[in-house]
Amino acid sequence: MRSELDSTESLAALLVRLRGGEISIPDDDDTDMSPIAAKLRNVIRSILQISDDKLPLVSGFLRTCFKTIETMTGMNLLPPPEEKSSSKKKSSKAAKANKNKSKNKKKSSDSETDSDKLATKKKSSVPKKKVATAATKKHLATNIKSSNPNYRIQKELKAFLKSPPDNLSVQVGSNIRLWVVTIVGAKDTIYEGEIFKLRIEFPSAYPTVPPSVYFLKKFLPVHEHVYTNGDICLSLLGNGWQPTMSAQSIAVSILSILSSAQSKNLPMDNANHAGAKPGLYQKDWVYHDDSC
């Protein structure tokens, strides 16, 4: 007992020198500790707790040193095993909770990203309403006499722009006799959301003969009645044409044959026709079926 007190007094004396003052340690039994010893133990345990979390290698070294001091002094300086285990368990639970929180946050972020992408995709699939160009507005404002061949074309253009059919829009440049009609594949069809463009030119004999109509190559659908040169197998462009018809009615008919298609296939005789000049009057054409 006396040797243990001597060791305690030596350690206390060291602390006194460091602090530059006098302290006294009562001669009590092993179950009681002086205030200085208690403070020293708390400081050591705080150091170990910090080093356990931040510097595990240093923590092991410190524990060895403090264990030696315990042996020499007989004082309980190190935390009991259950306290260390509890601290580690608590730290492990906190780390696991942070990890799960991070995963949930990432999952939520990914979900939001997917939702944003889907919303963007849906938004982009909705065709923007075409705004009449300055040239188109000029054509509409021009006063054309009924005796002028362009009078009929201007009338058709006004009707098209005033009440455009679903999935169709028209643009006109400096030449009122040359139109570009944009077709957007109708909903619930094999061409849904796809963009196609028709070139429509009115010949001098119009409306006695039909307009010249074909698809522009960069906006060409794969269809059993559409050749790869842009020509469309459509009787309205040949012997089925009537002067009472219009360019708009032709565009509506072309949209109709696209919407009724069940598969994307080229015409059977495409190889024989692919090199021909597109948009010619189809007066000598022989149509393979009534759907043309």
The Cα 181–Cα 164 span in angstroms is 11
Nearest CA among 145, 278, 273 for reference residue 211: 278
The residues that are catalytic are 233
Specify whether the CB–CB gap between 223 and 258 falls below 8 A: yes
Burial per residue of 212-234, b for 16 or more beta-carbon CB atoms within 10 angstroms, e otherwise: bbbbeeebbbebbbbbbbbbbbb
State phi, psi for 170 to the nearest 5 degrees. Answer: -130, 145
What secondary structure does DSSP assign to 228-249, as a single string?
Answer: TTS-B--GGGBTT--TT--HHH
Q: Tell me which H or E stretch contains 87.
A: helix 81-125
C-beta atoms surrounding 126 within 10 Å: 9
Residue 193 DSSP SS3 = coil
SS3 state at 116? helix
Three-state DSSP at 122 gives helix
Helix axes 56-73, 2-19, angle to 10 degrees: 120
Q: Residue 16 CB: number of other CB atoms within 10 A? A: 15
